[in-house]
A and B are shown apart, each in its own frame.
Chain A
Amino acid sequence: GQQVMQIPQYQHVQEGEDFTTYCNSSTTLSNIQWYKQRPGGHPVFLIQLVKSGEVKKQKRLTFQFGEAKKNSSLHITATQTTDVGTYFCAGPNNAGNMLTFGGGTRLMVKP
């Protein structure tokens, strides 16, 4: 079945440093979604990418969808303590009735 993998699993950074998480799918995706989960909280939708090579920005967050639509990345510039949490990517199966999540990257930021 479809697999979605994320690396790294954990990342410790000093406040102000940059952070990147990478997502790879075993199949070509029609779109990819990114979610953030704060410690003890629930996943919250961040963004969806649809087009090959698409790049979207949300303030200090930059999301990219690969040309082959099988990989994606999330880059945070100058991390802040408010960025702490686990970031998940997720991609739909071909029928679009199931969303497969990556294992997540847990970001910890030292003030």
Chain B
Amino acid sequence: NAGVTQTPKFQVLKTGQSMTLQCAQDMNHEYMSWYRQDPGMGLRLIHYSVGAGITDQGEVPNGYNVSRSTTEDFPLRLLSAAPSQTSVYFCASSYTWGSGNTIYFGEGSWLTVV
């Protein structure tokens, strides 16, 4: 059981480049989300999805796009990378949404924008 799988683990981008962080879960979870983690700022929600075909914005959505064409996959797209997007990105999933659902995190993707 792989859980939540993120790729790539490390990436260096030049300012203005675009890229996609991949996320897949094999637990048939309805709810998926993307967080970014910056020193001293905890985890901040970028986008989330409560099911296939449904996405919504979190706290810090600017500069990022998501889609949810299948239950399993939830890719995060950086349209035109900026140095402010240098961060560690975590994909997460839970069985459903609503209070009380444990969130399972992927191992993280370390992104540097130069």
Contact = CB atoms under 8 A, between A and B. Distances in A.
- Which of B40, B98, B103 has the most chain A CB within a 10 Å cutoff? B103
B90 A43 contact: yes
B43 A42 contact: no
Given A50-B100, A97-B97, A88 B107 contact: no
Given A99-B33, A103-B40, A104-B42, 15 more contacts: A30-B100, A41-B108, A45-B102, A88-B43, A90-B43, A90-B103, A97-B31, A97-B48, A97-B50, A98-B45, A98-B48, A98-B59, A100-B59, A102-B42, A103-B41
Contacts of A9: 40
Contacts of A44: 105
Interface of B: 31, 33, 35, 40-45, 48, 50, 56, 58-59, 90, 97-100, 102-108
Q: What's the dominant secondary structure at chain A's contact region? A: loop
A65 to B, nearest CB: 13
A88 B58 contact: no
A97 B58 CA distance: 10
